[in-house]
Structure 1
Amino acid sequence: ARHAGGKFLLRVEDTDRERSTQAAIDTLLDCMRWLGLDYDEPEVYQSQQIARHLAVAEDLVNRGLAYKDNKGGGGECVIFRMPKTGHLAYTDLVKGTIKKKAEDTQDFVIVRSDGTPVFHLSNVVDDIDMGITHVIRGDDHVENTFKHIELFKAMGAAVPQYAHLPMIVNNQGKPYSKRDGAAFVGEFREQGYLPEALFNFLLLLGWAPGDDREVLTRDEMIELFTLERCKSSAARFDLKKLIWMNGEYIRRQPREVYAAEFTARVEAAGLSVEGRDLDGILDQMQVRTKFYSEIPGSCSYFFTEEYPFDEKGVAKRLKVDGVPELLDEVAQRYEALPSFDVQSTHEVLIAMGEERGVGLGALVHPVRVAVSGMTEGPGLFEMLVLIGRDSVCARLRRVAQRLRDDTLPDEGKQ
């Protein structure tokens, strides 16, 4: 709508009162605000238009375009007459021309026996009243569109243009559902996704800008979006791509935004950033953070000596013959360095590896797990400098002793 200079309107289709509770509607509106889906006019509530819907139904009956019938013996319904001869067709802006024989259609209920309008009628009447020119929706409504177009014609109204977007499927090509992961916007929000990242990701389900760009600003999205570039085939929900995109948005945030959130989460965990090289830590962590919920779990070793150990990492990297002696020697050599920096700490391990006839990884991995408790993270030597020489050497010696005492947790120890 914004690309074409039109208006994006919101209609709350709340005629099913059992499902459309006020709490459910409030949740919907809150999720839209969080995603940045701002509409251009006050929302319209379909339930407030029921009298208008029923008046249209009565007019259709009076003109012979609909009839009343005690369908199924449950009370009198209003049923719309569909054409019985010829072909029905419409041009879908995504799928192209869609046709079917009129004889393959059936009359359908537009007012239930309890006197409430069915969504087919309500939607068309509201589209007319709201001046809707384009209806863009999921392709599970392709068949409904034949019904809706006939209703528009019966009311003497201009038929809007329709575009049916592909359904979202999982990696197996089946409809995406809760069994595949989060399916409600609020769940993504709770899991730590940024609204800008989720919005960007959802836009790319079934559409692409035509170049290699994937991370787009909202203004770029509006400028580039066209229905012609929408795909008609099903869109696969790639969770790995969403996680990557969330990390990209965090990486691109202004430093002050990331710093405020990072610091708040560290302090909320009872840790302090005082006396730490916070700028240096942020340099290392912002490019690696995929979710804010990872903080401070992914970097607590920068702020405390009581950091947890990855049990698999302990078993694989530390509980190996000769590691206690290795860690003690690294500590001794680090303590003797004139300058404790990225280059000098790196050169120590290179020299030790050459002396022992092993690759650098044989030293990097145990040192990393010993000083951070983790098997991955920032570059080891950058991390060592940020932790500081005194803490690094103390940790190496402490872990070496705990290995001798067999007090480090591992996956085989309960």
Structure 2
Amino acid sequence: MITVRFAPSPTGYLHVGGARTALFNWLYARNTGGKFILRIEDTDVKRSTQAATQAILDGLQWLGIDWDEGPYFQQARLPIYQEYAQKLIDEDKAYYCSCSVDELENLKKQAVNIGRAAGYDGRCRDKGEKKGVLRLKVTEGSTVFYDLFRDKIEFDNSLIGDFVLVRSDGMPTYNLTCAVDDALMGITQVIRGDDHIPNTPKQLLIFSALGLSPPRFGHIPLILGTDKSPLSKRHGAVSVMAYKEAGFLPEAMVNYLALLGWSTTNSQQLFSKEELIKKFSLKRIVKNPAVFDMEKLRWMNGVYIKQANPVDLVSIVRNYSSQRVWGEGTTPAPPWKEGELKETTPLLEEIIRLYQGRIKVLPEIYEMGDFFFSEQIKIEEDVVCEILGKDGVKTLLWETGQVMESLTIFDAISIEGAIRDLAERLGINAGDIIHPLRAVLTGKRVSPGIFEVAALLGQEMVMQRIENGLNIINQE
């Protein structure tokens, strides 16, 4: 059975590169009917935290990446690593080294000065030390493996040197724990970032020394920013959960991550998760680094928002309500109640429906549609000058207010009919009424259909804003 794993270190959040690695492993397991294992590599005691572990789990769960086994924690498996370390000692394949930090530093400097590799030279191999760090006796020759995505890769063992398996405090190193766990968990393919390529020969040497069968290794290129430098905070958020907080949908994030280094033969861009599972293949993973393009992610997220059921978005949008910053002198208006969104808000669902085709991330609803969420709005200065300042607008607004107030049914159809009837009666274009009405109801030049906007604001709020607009005109 195909068995893969995602093995993050809980020293920070789940970043974009790690999420893509997890996704590729998960898709491969689901595509082949294999097994996906989650392993938390927490042997770096000083840097590993419970908060980071939870952040990793939260990120995977938000993306919908589930696991078949685990999470396994390496801290709980220390006796296993100690057993295998002792096996290497008993078979004279590892030895203790008592060299001090200063000695090792001088050794490196000497090696550099004479143009030799800076790997440890094995000077403690035959000393019979009983304590210190435990090092592997690296054999002569070379270590070769055939990368799933890069073909043959070869390392000269003399350049590797006798590397550390167990630290002086008894804590096993990454390469020992990784090799032992991959063997015991039956990992068949290791799919990870190409920053791990230098670790692979060391792990293969450990597999060989322990007489264990290694998995196949495949290293995917790193993710770059649009300027072709390694992805960092200056290119946008790096933490996966930061994208959730910014208003991205998990379906869009999964779709986008899948395309960072993988594609189909027809360059398809939009995939459901089921399609990704069906079409994913290691053969389509590319060797060149992928470029993280925030604008493309925003576009893709906008597509998913547009296609979503507004009912499903209500609870997500509501979660952004606490991030809303109210302007000075403003108070929450429907669908707000005492500063918080109501538990059930049909109105919010309709507001979402109005903006689904306009926004790229969900919090933009509060930016574009801020007039829905404040009793007092600020009308943009150019709107006041260029629209409300025109001759005859004051009279038109007053007439519009009279018509709005007279309606007994206040829905979009009734409002549109009343406005068009008024325009016909006055012998003008409906747009001559619509533009000033939009200005006083929204404070903007552009908005969704003004008839739908007015209906959602409600008759009382519409009348209040028309009155406010007339007051502004009188002050000009």
1:58-114 superposed Cα distances (whole Å, 9 cap, x missing partner): 2223333322211335862111233433x4322211223223334433221111122
Identity %: 32
Q: 1:25 to 1:246 in 2, by over 3 A?
A: same
Equivalences for residues 176-255 of structure 1 within 5 A? 176-255=231-310
Q: Conserved in 1, the CA contact under 8 Å of 2:63 and 2:254?
A: yes
Q: Conserved in 2, the CA contact under 8 Å of 1:207 and 1:230?
A: yes
Q: Conserved in 1, the CA contact under 8 Å of 2:383 and 2:443?
A: no
RMSD: 3.7
1:81 aligns with 2:137: yes
Distance 1:346 1:238 in 2: 49
Deviation of 1:131 (Å): 0.6
Amino acid across the alignment from 1:145 = T
Question: Residue in 2 aligned with 1:66?
Answer: 94
What secondary structure is seen at the aligned counterpart in 1 of 2:70? coil
Q: 1:278 to 1:175 in 2, by over 3 A?
A: closer
Amino acid across the alignment from 2:213 = A
Distance 1:255 1:172 in 2: 36
Distance 1:42 1:95 in 2: 30
Question: Residue in 2 aligned with 1:412?
Answer: none
What secondary structure is seen at the aligned counterpart in 2 of 1:187? helix
**Which has the higher mean CA deviation after the structures are superposed, 366-375 or 124-133?**
366-375
- Among 375, 378, 391, the alignment partner of 1:309 is 378
- Among 66, 71, 80, the alignment partner of 1:38 is 66
Count of aligned positions: 394
Question: Residue in 2 aligned with 1:411?
Answer: none
Deviation of 1:294 (Å): 3.6
Question: Residue in 2 aligned with 1:267?
Answer: 336
Equivalences for residues 288-367 of structure 1 within 5 A? 288-302=358-372, 306-309=375-378, 314-320=380-386, 323-325=389-391, 327-328=393-394, 330-331=396-397, 340-341=415-416
Q: 1:259 to 1:69 in 2, by over 3 A?
A: closer
Q: 1:328 to 1:83 in 2, by over 3 A?
A: farther
1:134 aligns with 2:185: no
Q: Conserved in 1, the CA contact under 8 Å of 2:387 and 2:435?
A: no
Amino acid across the alignment from 1:31 = G
- Among 123, 136, 142, the alignment partner of 2:178 is 123
Q: Conserved in 2, the CA contact under 8 Å of 1:331 and 1:393?
A: no
Q: Conserved in 2, the CA contact under 8 Å of 1:66 and 1:80?
A: yes
Question: Residue in 2 aligned with 1:2?
Answer: 30
Question: Residue in 2 aligned with 1:377?
Answer: 447
Q: 1:397 to 1:141 in 2, by over 3 A?
A: same
Distance 2:419 2:433 in 1: 15
Q: 1:225 to 1:43 in 2, by over 3 A?
A: same
1:232-285 superposed Cα distances (whole Å, 9 cap, x missing partner): 222222222222233322222224323565679633645789999777645422
When the two structures are superposed, what TM-score results if normalisation uses the length of structure 1? 0.80
Q: Conserved in 1, the CA contact under 8 Å of 2:388 and 2:436?
A: no
Amino acid across the alignment from 1:208 = S
What secondary structure is seen at the aligned counterpart in 2 of 1:291? coil
Amino acid across the alignment from 2:132 = E
1:113-134 superposed Cα distances (whole Å, 9 cap, x missing partner): 2221110000000111111111
Distance 2:344 2:168 in 1: 70
